[in-house]
Structure 1
Amino acid sequence: MNPSITEQRAHHQLTFSVLAAGAATFGLLQSLVSPVLPTIQEALHTSQTNVTWVLTVYLLSASIFTPIMGRLGDMSGKKRMFVIALGALAIGCLLSALATNLLVMIIGRVIQGVGGGVLPLAFGIIRDEFPRDKVAGAVGSVAGLSAAGAGAGIVLAGPIVNAFDYHWLFWIPLILLLLSGLAAQFVVPESPERKAGSINWLTAALLSGWLVALLLAVSEAPSSGWSSARVLVLLAVAVVLVVVWVVAESRAEHPLIDMRMMRIRAVWAANLVALLSGLAFYASFAFLPQLLQTPSAAGYGFGASITESGLMMLPQTVGVFVLGLVAGRMALRFGSKNVVIAGSVIGTVGYLLIAVAHDREWGIYLITLVIGVGVGMAFAAMSNLIVAAVPAHQTGVASGMNANIRTIGGALGASLMASIVTAGASPSGLPEESGYTNGFLMLSGALLLGALAALFIPAVRRDPLTHAEPDVELRHAEAALVPGGTLVGDESE
C-alpha cells in the first residue's frame, strides 16, 4: 500500500469531523428559510408567489450542479471540489444575507445550489481515504447528519429570527462554512482516485434542461393546476429532453452519468427508494409546521408559533441524527438493504399516524420521533448502498445522482402535497383538515412504495473478516462497467 495513503488514513477521524460539519451545514441551509418565507416576503417587498422562488431556484441549482460537482470531483480531486462547494455555499450565504431585493436573494440561492456537491464529494472522500471497515459507518453518519441538519433548520429558524432577524439565517451558516472550508483545506487529504476524461457539456445542458422543466412544472402546478397548458408543456419538454439526454449519455465517450452504471440493480433500486423517500421527507418540512401553526379555532391544529412548531418537530431531528449515527453499524450487522426496508416501514407508520391522529400535542412529539427514526435509518443505509454498488472512480457521480433524485422527489412531494392540501378551503380560508389527512396518507403511501422498491436491491455478502459489504457488489459493478464484462450473481439472497 502507498505509505502516503496509509498516513492519510491514520487521520480519518479528524477528516470525518470536517466532512460531517460541512454536510450538516449544507443540510441546515436546505430548510432554514422554509418556515420564515412570509418574513422574507415582507422584508423584500415582494409577493407570496415570487418569494417561493427563494426555495425553487435553490432546488433547481442544486439539481443541476450536484452531479456535475460529483463528476468534477472524480476527475480533478474530491477534496479540492469539496472546498469549492463549501466556498460556493459561503458566497451564496453572503449575498443572501446582504440582499435588499428579491433578485439579489435569488442569485445568492442559485450560488448556494453549487454546494449540492458537498454530499457526493464527502462520500467519495470517505470511500477513498477511510479504512474499509469504517466506510459504512462514516457514510451513514454523514448522510444522517445532513438529514438532521435539514431537520434542525426547521427547529432553529424561529429562535434565530426572534433573537436577531432573518439575515442571521445566512450569517450563522456563513460563519460555519468558512470554518469548515478552512478546516477542509488544511485537514482533509486529497483522494488518490481519479477518473480520466472531461465534462460533457452537451449532456450537462440536457440534464439541466429536463430538470429545470420538470421542477418548474411541479412548482407551477399548485397555483396553475396540473392540467394547465403551461404545466403540460413543461412536462412534455421534460419528457422529450430526458429521452434525448439518455440517448446522448449512452453514446458519449465521457458521459456525465454512465448509463451502464445506472442499470446496476443496486443503483437503480436505491435511486427509486431515494425518489420516494425524498418525496415524503422533504414535503413534510413545509406542511407539518403549517398544520401545527393552524389556529385551533379551525377545528384542528394547535395555533403554534414558528418556534413552538419547530420544537414539536425536534424529536424528528433527534431521531434522524441518532439513527444516522448508528445506521452504519446496523447495516454491517443486518445488511444495508434490510435497514432501508425497516426504515421505510417505520417512516410509513409515522406518516400514517400523522394523517389519522394529529389532535394531541404529546402525540405529535411521539409521531415525529417515529418519522425521524425511520428516515434516519433509510437515508443513511441508502447512501451505503450507492457507495458499495459502484467502483471508487464512480462514487462521486453515483452518490451525487442519488442525492439529486432525493431533491427531485422532495420537489415533487411538495407540489403534490400543496395540490392535495389546498384542494378545498374552509370558510375561514384555511385548508380543510381532510386536505392534510389525505396529503399525509399520500406521503405514507410513498414510503410504503419505497419499502417495496427496496426489495429489488440485491443482497450483498459481507466480508467474513471485516463484516463490510462492498466487496462482492464492487466486483459486480466493475464487471458491469467494463465493456464486455460479465455481471454475475446479481440476485437477492
Structure 2
Amino acid sequence: MVVPLLPDFPKILGTSADNASWLVTVTLLTSAIATPIISRLADMFGKRRMMVVAMVTMVIGSVIAAAGGTFLMLLIGRAFQGLAASLIPVGISIMRDELPREKVASAVALMSATLGIGSALGLPLAGVIYESLGWQAIFWISAVIGVLLIIAVIAIVPESAVRTRGKFDGVGAVLLTAALTSLLLAISKGGEWGWTSEPVILLFIGTVVFLALWFPYELRVSQPMVDLRTSARKPVLLTNIASILVGFSMYANMLTTTQQLQLPNLGGYGFGLSVVVAGLCMIPSGLAMVALAPVSAAITKRHGAKVTLIAGSLVLAVSYVARVFLTGEVWMVILGATVVSMGTAIAYAAMPTLIMRSVPITETASANGLNSLLRAVGTSTMSAVVGAVLTSAVVHVGPLALPTEDAFKEVFWYAAIAALLSIGVSVFIPRVQAAPGLAGGTSTGVYDAGARPGAAGAARPAGLPAAVVPPAAAGDGRPADDEIVVGGTVMGAGGKPIRQAVVNALHTNGEPADWSRADNAGRYSLVLPASGRYLIVSSADGWAPSSQVLEFVDSSSTENIRLTLRLTLSGTVADGGRALEHALVTLTKASGEFVMSTFSDGSGRYEVPLPAAGRYILTGLEPEGLRSQSVQLSLSSRPAVVDLDLGGSPEPATAEHARAGA
C-alpha cells in the first residue's frame, strides 16, 4: 500500500526521493530477517503465539507510522510492519497441524496466493484511501484491521501441539541477520549507489564473510537456526532454488505493469493512467490468484506438487513471452499481467507442500520460513534488475526521461528465462510415491501431513526429553488431538549418544509417518498421527542401521534406540604369515588427503571406524619402519576386512573383498 505513494512522499515529508525509497527497503530488510527467526521460534514456542507476535508488530508499526508525522517515525513504523511477513510460513504450518489431510493442499494453495492477492488489491486501495482520507489513513486502517485479526486468531485458531523445545540459536540468528542485511541492502541499493561503488562491494564482501562463519557454525550447533543438513536434501534444496527463480520471475509483473499503464503517452507506448486507475487494473490479477488456488490444489492432489510447480513455472514463462508482444492496448497489458498472476498462484501453492513433505513435522515452520526468505531474495534481485534496466534504456521527451518499450520487453525476457530455469530445476525434484491408501496415485506432499483437528499444547510429561513437547491435555474447550509427539535418545552399544542419527517412523503398512534427525545429544522427536505400533528405522554414519517395531501409547512414550554394530575397516598385519605387533596402519584418500592411522595389537589385528564411501589407500608399516605395503580400496557403507602381509602381496581374497565394498 505504500508503493503507490512513493512519488508523493518526498513532498509530503520534506525529504529526498532517495530517502523515500528506504520506506520500501527497510520493510524488505526486516521481513527477510524476521521470517526465518520467527518461523524457528514458532516451531519451538508455538505457531499461534508467533502469529500473534507478527500481527502485533504490524499494528505497532502502523500506529507509529500514522501518528509520527516525520520521515524517521514513518521509517521506524515501516520497519516494524516488515516483521509481519513471517505470518505466511507460520500460518501455512498451522494448517498442516490442524486440518484434515484432504484440506491441506487447498488451504496451503490459498494462503500462498494471499501474498499476490494482497499486493494486487493493496495498490488500488492505497490510491483511493490516499486521495479520500490522506496518507495517514492508510496506516490507521492497517492498525485497525490488525487488531481485529489478532482477536480473530486468538479466538479461532488453536495453538499447535507440534513443537520442539530447546535453546534458541542466538549466534546463528545474529550471523544470518548480518548476512541477509548485507546481501539485500547491496541488491536493493546497488542501482542507486553504483554496483562497483565502495559501499556495495563492502556489503557483498560482508555477506560472504558472514555466511562463511554461519555455515560451519550451523553444522556444529546442536539445535541450529536452520538445519543445513535437512536443507541440503535434494527435494528441499531444489525446491528452494526453484523458489528463488519463481520469485525473481513473478516480481517483474508487479514492478512493471503499473509503470507501463502510468507512463505518459508521449513516448508512443504509454497509456497515461492515474495511480488509482492503474491500481484498479491490477484487481483482475488478484482475483485470478484467488480463482486459481483450488485449481492448483487439484493438480497437487491428482499429480503431485512437483507437477504443480512445473505447470506454474510453464504458465509464467509462456505469459511473459506473450507480454513481450501484448503491449499495444490497455486490455493486453491487463491480460498479460493476469495470466502471469495465474502462473504465480499455481507455482507458489506447490512450494510449501514440497517443503513440508521433505522435512520433519517439527521443523515445518522454520523450513517454510527459509523458503519464504529465498523467495524474497529472488524478488529483491528482480527489483534490482528492473531498476537497472529501466534506468539504462530511456528516451528523453522534454524534461522527462522515460523507460523505452524495449526496456520493458527486456525485463519480460529475463523473467521468462528465470521461469524456464525453474522448470529445469523442478524436473529433478524427486517425486514421492503414493503411500498405501492415498488417492490419486501420488502423495499430497505432506508425510501424513494428515493433521486432525488440534488441541493446544500442554506441559512436558516427566521422562520426555526437553526437545519434545506433547499435545494438549483436555480442558481447553477443544477436542483432544489424535496426534502424539514422542521422542527418546539414539545411543551406541556403550550407551553413548549418537549425534545426527536419522530416525524414520513408518506405519506397518509401509506409509511414512514422520522422520527426525537427532541433535548433538542424540535426542530425537517424532510426530505420529495416532498411538499404535510403528516400524522405526534408524541409521547413523559409521553404524549399521537397525529396525524395530515399537508401540507408542501417548506423548509420554519415550523410546531409546540402540545401534549396536559399529561399521569398521579391520584386518591383520603380518610378515610372511607372522603377526606383527605395533605395526603402523594408515588410511589416506586416493586423492591424497590423510584420513586416520592406528597400530596393530599383539595379534597383529587393527580396526578403525569405517570412513565415508570412496577410494582409499591402506598402508602397513613394520615396527622397525623399514618395509611397508599399500593397497587401494573401494569402500562402501559395509564393513570391510583387509589383511596386509609385508612379506608378500596383499591377501588376494580379502583385498578383492574390500574392493567390492563387502
TM beyond 0.5: yes
The alignment partner of 2:134 has SS state of: coil
1:255 to 2:224 alignment: yes
Counterpart of 1:441 in structure 2 is: 413
Q: Summarize deviations over 1:39-70 as a string: whole Å, max 9, x none.
A: 22221111110011111111110111111111
Q: Aligned equivalents of 1:465 and 1:160: distance in 2?
A: 52
Shift of 1:81: 1.1
Q: Structure 1 length as normaliser, TM-score?
A: 0.88
Contact 2:101–2:448 (CA under 8 A) maintained in structure 1: no
Which AA in structure 1 matches 2:177?
A: S
Cα distance in 1, alignment partners of residues 110 and 433 from structure 2 = 22
Match of 2:445 among 463, 469, 484: 469
Q: Which residue identity lines up with residue 517 of structure 2 in the other structure?
A: L
TM-superposed deviation, 1:187: 1.5
SS state of the match for residue 253, structure 1?
coil
Distance of 1:68 and 1:241 partners within structure 2 = 17
> Structure 2: which amino acid aligns with 1:450?
S
Q: Residue 309 of structure 2: which of 335, 340, 346 is its match?
A: 340
Give 1:370's aligned residue: 339
* Structure 1, 130-139 or 478-487: larger mean CA deviation: 478-487
Q: 348-357 or 116-125: which moved more?
A: 348-357
Q: Determine the C-alpha separation between the residues in 1 that align with 2:68 and 2:249.
A: 32
Deviation, 1:89, is 1.0
User: 1:305 aligns to what?
Assistant: 274
| Alignment deviations for residues 198-218 of structure 1 (CA, whole Å, 9 cap, x no partner) | 221111111011111111111
Larger Cα Rg: Structure 1 or Structure 2?
Answer: 2
Give the alignment partner of residue 281 of structure 1, picking from 218, 229, 250: 250
Local SS of the residue matching 1:235 = helix
What is the distance in 2 between the residues matched to 1:453 and 1:151? 28
Shift of 1:351: 1.8
Name the stretch that deviates more: 163-172 or 374-383.
Answer: 163-172
| SS of corresponding position for 2:255 | helix
Show the 5 A alignment for 1:12-411: 32-411=1-380
Shift in alpha-carbon separation, 1:360–1:261, aligned structure 2, 3 A: same
* Alpha carbons of structure 1 residues 422 and 485: separation in structure 2 relative to 1, 3 Å: farther
8 Å Cα contact 1:34/1:286 also seen in 2: no
Q: Deviations over 1:298-324 (max 9, x none)?
A: 121111111121122222212112112
RCO higher in 1 or 2 (8 Å CA, sep ≥ 6)? 1
Contact conserved, 1:294 with 1:303, CA < 8 A, in 2? Answer: yes
Please give the alpha-carbon distance, in whole angstroms, between the structure 1 residues aligned to 2:250 and 2:5: 19
Deviation string for 1:390-434 (max 9, x for gaps)? 121101100011111111111111011111111132122112222
Q: Are 2:299 and 2:307, in contact at CA under 8 Å, matched by a contact in 1? A: no
Opposite residue 445 of structure 1, the aligned amino acid is I
TM-score by length of 2: 0.66
> What is residue 12 of structure 1 aligned with on the other side?
none
Letter of the structure 2 residue corresponding to residue 57 of structure 1: V
Cα shift at 1:157:
2.1
Judge conservation of contact 2:326–2:336 (CA < 8 Å) in 1. Answer: no
Partner SS, residue 396 of structure 1: helix
Residue 208 of structure 1 aligns to which amino acid in structure 2?
T
Are the counterparts in 2 of residues 44 and 101 from structure 1 also a CA contact under 8 Å?
Answer: yes
Gaps of 5+ in 1: 1-31, 489-493
Q: In the alignment, what sits opposite 1:481?
A: 517
Alpha-carbon distance between aligned partners in 1 of 2:265 and 2:311, rounded to the nearest angstrom: 35
For 2:419, give the aligned amino acid: L
Give 1:244 shift. 1.5
| 2:424 counterpart (429, 452, 466) | 452
Secondary structure of residue in 2 paired with 1:427: strand
- Which residue of the partner structure matches residue 641 of structure 2? none
Measure, in 2, the Cα distance between the counterparts of 1:311 and 1:57. Answer: 26
Conserved? CA contact 2:172–2:225, under 8 Å? yes
Deviations 1:86-137 (A, max 9, x none): 1111111111122311111111111112212211211121111111222222
Q: Any conservation in 2 of the 1:151–1:317 contact (CA below 8 Å)?
A: yes
What value does the CA root-mean-square deviation take over the aligned residues?
Answer: 2.1
Deviation, structure 1 residue 486: 7.3
| CA distance, structure 2, for counterparts of residue 472 and residue 125 of structure 1 | 14
- Answer 1 or 2: which has greater strand percent: 2
Which secondary structure does the structure 2 equivalent of 1:460 belong to? coil
Q: Does the CA contact (< 8 Å) of 2:51 and 2:87 recur in 1?
A: yes
Q: Which AA in structure 2 matches 1:457?
A: I
| CA deviation vs aligned residue, 1:263-283 (integer Å, no higher than 9, x gap) | 122211111111111112234
Indicate if the aligned counterparts of 1:35 and 1:286 stay in contact, CA closer than 8 A: no
Asked if 1 retains the 8 angstrom alpha-carbon contact of 2:64 and 2:74, the reply is yes
- Percent identity reads 33
For residues 313-350 of structure 1, the C-alpha deviation after alignment (integer angstroms, 9 at most, x for no partner) is 22221211211243222210121111111111111122
**Residue 471 of structure 1 aligns to which amino acid in structure 2?**
Y
Determine the C-alpha separation between the residues in 2 that align with 1:477 and 1:305.
54
| Paired residue secondary structure (1:436) | helix
